[in-house]
Amino acid sequence: MKRRFLDLPKNWVGLLVSVIFWCMLWGGVDAKNVLGGILAATIVFVLFPMPPTGHEITIRPLRFVYFVGVFLFDMVKSAIEVAWYSIRPAPQPLNSVIAVKLRSRSDLFLTGTGMLSTLIPGSVVVEAQRATGTLFLHVIGAEDEEQAEQARQRVLEQEERLLWAMARREILEEAGLR
């Protein structure tokens, strides 16, 4: 228990961001919202501490901007494809559940890649196996092995961009990207 209280000063950025979101949720910045946000964020940080991640992350600004740009482009492109599937006069496309074995063995980047893959319309993570570093995704429009392989490749490319944007050198080397 002692560790949780001692970690709060280290998490001041997370605490600050939480208070900002709290104020946004309540519609304004005033003393009541700020104090309530600090109290709520402190309770959450104490009861549900985040595992240490500082040793896995290094932000590379140019690669991060590229990563975000490609991710946003993929989101828009996939949203248009899914919208087209819903209004086109043809039958609905076949779907598949595919397995993607990720390069990184990091829980942080397994989770990040899974979240990013789910945020792109047309795919959703149905299972993540931590022990093997494998994501299982339900993918719309993967009607044959070639389309399933293209979907796998998109997830691996997403993971690679994420790793290059945020992973430390040791994680890149473990993933075979150095």
State whether 37 and 93 are in the same domain.
Answer: no
Q: Are residues 10 and 93 in the same domain?
A: no
Say if residue 162's pLDDT is above 50: yes
pLDDT of residue 10: 60
Name the more confident of 157 and 17. 157
Is residue 9, in this structure, part of any structural domain at all?
yes
Our count of domains for the chain comes to 2
Q: Is 70 in the same domain as 139? A: yes
Hey, is 133 helix, strand or coil?
A: coil
The answer to whether residue 56 is domain-embedded is: no
Residue 6 is predicted with a pLDDT of 47
- pLDDT at res. 74: 93
Is residue 55 in a domain? no
Question: Does 131 lie in the same domain as 170?
Answer: yes
Is residue 169 located within the same domain as residue 95? yes
CB proximity list for 34: less than 8 A, separation 6 or greater: 19, 23
- Tell whether 37 is covered by a domain: yes
pLDDT at 159 over 80: yes
Strand-by-strand arrangement of the 123-129 sheet: 95-101, 134-140, 123-129
pLDDT in tens, 30-50: 999 999 999 998 888 888 877
Let me know whether 65 and 38 are in one domain: no
Picking from 110, 116, 111, 106, the residue whose alpha carbon sits closest to that of residue 169 is 106
Task: Say yes or no: 83 and 163 in one domain.
Answer: yes
| 92 and 25 within one domain | no
Model pLDDT, residue 54: 62
Non-local CB neighbours of 156 within 8 Å, separated by 6+ positions: 100, 102, 103
| Domain coverage including residue 100 | 61-174
Q: Is the dihedral of CA 129, 134, 135, 141 positive or negative?
A: negative
Q: Alpha carbon of 160 to those of 47, 64, 140, 156, 165: distances in Å?
A: 33, 12, 22, 6, 8
Confidence of residue 72 (pLDDT cuts 50, 70, 90): very high
| Residue 31, strand partner residues | none
> Is 82 found in the same domain as 109?
yes
Do residue 147 and residue 72 come from a single domain?
A: yes
Instruction: Work out the mean pLDDT of the chain and round it to a whole number.
Output: 88
32 found inside a domain: yes
Q: Tell me, yes or no, whether 119 and 167 share the same domain.
A: yes
- Whole-model pTM: value is 0.73
Q: Is residue 148 located within the same domain as residue 68?
A: yes
Which pLDDT value is given to residue 1? 45
